[in-house]
Amino acid sequence: MSPSPVTVFLAAPRGFCAGVDRAIEIVETALAHYGAPVYVRHHIVHNVHVVADLEAKGAIFVEDLDDVPSGSPVVFSAHGIPPHVREDAQARGLDHIDATCPLVTKVHASARRHAAADQTIILIGHAGHQEVIGTMGQAPDQMVLVETVEDVMALELDDPDNVAYITQTTLSVDETREVIAAICEKFPNVRKPKGQDICYATQNRQDATKVLAEQSDLVLVVGSAHSSNSNRMVEVARTYGAASHLIDDANGIDPAWLEGVDTVGLTSGASAPDALVQGVIKWLKARPRGAVVELLDVVEEDMHFALPSKLRSLPVANR
């Protein structure tokens, strides 16, 4: 008797968030208007497949504005930039377009507001992440970065009663809860964000991953290794009791992972195209046991961010 097919629980929501959708559309719109090449400072989003697709269409990704020819169009990535990058672009006469996620822009505005009030700003985030670099740049002389409770405990601030905190958007409520509690305990008068800085998509995808992990032997997360939110989803799945692996696409699956596995949870990070998820499903169905897919609908998303006013109704290039 043949073994029954593997059950694949497909998470919803998964994949592109509104900020990623917007950033990709910005680059594609810029290419349609200006023609190739359009330069992009840093990878527009953290996914190798998205970057490769846009490169094939004529985008050129650079890390330094010095690599952008004078007068050329340049797009700033969804992760946000320090102010000096925009100033450099203006000084060089570059036609710049900002694809910073609106949720990140909101955090930048909070940082500048706290800085104007002469408050020390505690940023909760991961050192070296592009979003953190951009946020730190909003008030570099007044901001300190913490990642852990231990970092908070080690802080010695000149005016502990004049402190505010903000967070990297691509963390989750679970990730920040203990650090925020430590900040509030050490600095009882700390100014808190007026709204939730945490990205809705990051939280929703992690919440869906928890449900997947509780129902699956194995959880596969489609996303790039340098995607912060994708890596966190793997950690969440493992915390909730499932074996879990991060894969770029179906080629990253080790068949040994499936030995003795009857249920597979499948999801993807906020910058992973759904075509890659469908490729994993196709791979699983082609296995000797086959696979059946069940949608696991956890949260409904309907968020959309408009393009920058500069790009709306632009004419298409003739060249």
Number of domains composing the chain: 3
Which of residues 163, 186, 209 is at a domain's end? 186
In a domain? residue 306: no
Q: Examine the residue annotation and report whether 63 is marked as an active-site residue of this protein.
A: no
94, 107: one domain: no
- What is the C-alpha to C-alpha distance for residues 243 and 238, in angstroms, rounded to an integer? 6
Residue 275 CA, distance from chain mean position = 18
CATH number at residue 163: 3.40.1010.20
pLDDT of res. 318: 44
206, 287: one domain: yes
For residue 118, the 8-state DSSP code is T
- What is the C-alpha to C-alpha distance for residues 132 and 202, in angstroms, rounded to an integer? 16
Domain range enclosing 150: 103-186
In a domain? residue 263: yes
In a domain? residue 49: yes
73, 125: one domain: no
pLDDT of res. 317: 55
In 3D space, the residue among 121, 103, 77 whose CA is nearest the CA of residue 18 turns out to be 103
pTM over 0.85, yes/no: yes
Q: CA triplet 19, 247, 249: central angle to 5 degrees?
A: 80
114, 132: one domain: yes
In a domain? residue 210: yes
Ordered per-residue pLDDT tens for the chain, 319 residues: 568 999 999 999 999 999 999 999 999 999 999 999 999 999 999 899 999 999 999 999 999 999 999 989 999 999 999 999 999 999 999 999 999 999 999 999 999 999 999 999 999 999 999 999 999 999 999 999 999 999 999 999 999 999 999 999 988 888 899 999 999 999 999 999 987 778 889 899 999 999 999 999 999 999 999 888 899 999 999 999 999 999 999 999 999 999 999 999 999 999 999 999 999 999 999 999 999 999 999 998 988 999 998 888 667 654 3
In a domain? residue 137: yes
110, 171: one domain: yes
Q: Which residue out of 131, 175, 235, 294 is catalytically annotated?
A: 131
- What is the C-alpha radius of gyration for the chain, rounded to an integer number of angstroms? 21
In a domain? residue 316: no
